[in-house]
């Protein structure tokens, strides 16, 4: 007897979010991307549509990364202390479709670079590459509130995705993004209630819900990945059932989380039985990324070019109907 599959019927879909603005929209991007718009749980094409493929943004820093293991920094040898060259390498050599620039050097503990310096880096990268840009502060609220408005202004009209807005610190960034036509990342600490709350707070300032991406905060494989998975799954189920305050695409910082794991970065010399660290770190990033895809990630921010290439192939396979 044939088994009849039960299909879910959803009443709502995830918002579509555009990254970057081309010439005709007042920006200067030579390519733009759209994510989101899904009306089904991930890759269940019989239940609904996934009009846009998840995308991978390559992460770059505006200063030499202090803590990247050799296996990770090797593909970027020679450009790690030059964000513009680094950006060009990602786009030209590794075919990055989006870049995620973290303004690490502005952090008081990592060089305390000035807001003007950060803004000029943003301008230089926008001038050097044509892909859309995600721009992150250093995570120091006080400094970010000085740095990000300058960078937002410098990138006015380019429709960048700026982050992160949090429950405690969202007003300055929201106002800047609103004024300069950017999208915003709303961050919550693996907490669906706060995820919803931050979106409400941001939208209360008149910011359009369609220009918000949710950063649910994830954990890497072995570091709470399943918590993130279940939060994302629950948020997506609520979105599809009609919750407009959770109907945003997800952005997941996979590279940052995966390469913090000791299994990813510990050299083979310290743990010979663990095998070569280059494969370990790479696979840690791949497995974390793939898991996030399966619970609905729309934008993955990743680091290792090889890992990105593998995950891109996985996305191709998943998107085959």
Partner 1 sequence: MLVIGERINGMYKDVGKAIKERDKKVIQDLAKKQVASGASMLDVNVGPAAKDAQEAMKWLVETIQEVVDAGLCLDSTKPAVIEEGLKVVKNKAMVNSSTADKEKLDIFVPMAKQYKARLIGLTLGKSGVPRDRAQRSEYAAAILTSCVEAGFNLEELYIDPIVLPVNVAQPQSLEALEALREFRFLYNPPPKTVVGLSNVSQGTENRSLINRTFLIMAQAQGLDAAIVDPMDKELMDAMITAELLLNKNIYCDSYLDAYKKK
The site for partner 1 (CB under 8 A) is made up of 192-197, 200-201, 203-204, 234-235, 238, 242-246
Q: Measured between alpha carbons, how far is 312 from 66 in angstroms, rounded to an integer?
A: 27
Tokens representing residue 68 in the block:
């990247």
Q: What angle do CA 226, 240, 185 make, to 5 degrees?
A: 65
Residues contacting residue 186 through CB under 8 Å, at least 6 positions apart: 164, 165, 166, 170, 195, 198, 199, 202, 212, 213, 214, 215, 248
Min dist CB 225 to partner 1, Å, is 21
Closer of 151 and 213 to partner 1 (Cβ) = 213
Min dist CB 296 to partner 1, Å, is 15
Q: Measured between alpha carbons, how far is 308 from 117 in angstroms, rounded to an integer?
A: 30
Min dist CB 162 to partner 1, Å, is 22
Closer of 245 and 310 to partner 1 (Cβ) = 245
Min dist CB 277 to partner 1, Å, is 40
Angle at which helix 115-128 crosses helix 141-154, to 10 degrees, equals 40
Closer of 138 and 215 to partner 1 (Cβ) = 215
Closer of 209 and 294 to partner 1 (Cβ) = 209
Closer of 88 and 234 to partner 1 (Cβ) = 234
Closer of 146 and 245 to partner 1 (Cβ) = 245
Min dist CB 299 to partner 1, Å, is 22
Q: Measured between alpha carbons, how far is 93 from 107 in angstroms, rounded to an integer?
A: 29
Residue 153 CB burial class (10 angstroms; 0-12, 13-18, ≥19): middle
Cα–Cα distances in Å, from 242 out to 18, 133, 196, 284?
21, 30, 13, 34
| DSSP summary character for residue 94 | T
Min dist CB 54 to partner 1, Å, is 23
């Amino acid at each position: 007897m044939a088994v009849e599959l039960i299909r879910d019927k959803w009443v709502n879909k995830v918002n579509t979010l555009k990254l970057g603005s081309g010439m005709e929209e007042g920006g200067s991007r030579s390519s733009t991307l759209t994510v989101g718009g899904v009306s089904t749980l991930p890759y269940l094409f019989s239940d609904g549509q996934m009009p846009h493929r998840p995308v991978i943004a390559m992460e770059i820093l505006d200063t030499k990364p202090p803590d990247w293991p050799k296996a990770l920094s090797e593909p970027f040898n020679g450009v790690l202390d030059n964000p513009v060259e680094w950006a060009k390498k990602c786009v030209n050599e590794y075919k990055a479709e989006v870049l995620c620039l973290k303004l690490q050097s502005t952090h008081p503990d990592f060089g305390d670079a000035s807001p003007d310096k950060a803004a000029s880096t943003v301008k230089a990268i926008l001038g050097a590459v044509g892909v859309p840009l995600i721009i992150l502060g250093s995570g120091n609220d006080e400094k970010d509130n000085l740095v990000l408005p300058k960078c937002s202004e410098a990138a006015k009209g380019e429709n960048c995705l700026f982050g992160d807005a949090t429950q405690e610190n969202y007003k300055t960034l929201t106002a800047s993004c609103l004024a300069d036509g950017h999208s915003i990342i709303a961050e919550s600490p693996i907490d669906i209630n706060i995820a919803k709350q931050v979106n409400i707070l941001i939208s209360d300032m008149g910011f359009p819900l369609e220009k918000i991406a949710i950063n649910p905060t994830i954990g890497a494989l072995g570091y709470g990945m399943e918590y993130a998975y279940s939060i994302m799954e629950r948020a997506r189920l609520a979105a599809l059932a009609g919750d407009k305050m959770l109907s945003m695409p997800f952005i997941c910082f996979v590279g940052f989380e995966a390469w913090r794991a000791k299994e990813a970065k510990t050299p083979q010399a310290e743990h010979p039985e663990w095998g070569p660290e280059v494969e370990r770190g790479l696979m840690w990033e791949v497995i974390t990324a793939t898991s996030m895809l399966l619970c609905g990630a729309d934008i993955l921010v990743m680091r290792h070019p090889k890992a990105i290439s593998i995950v891109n192939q996985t996305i191709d396979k998943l998107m085959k109907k």
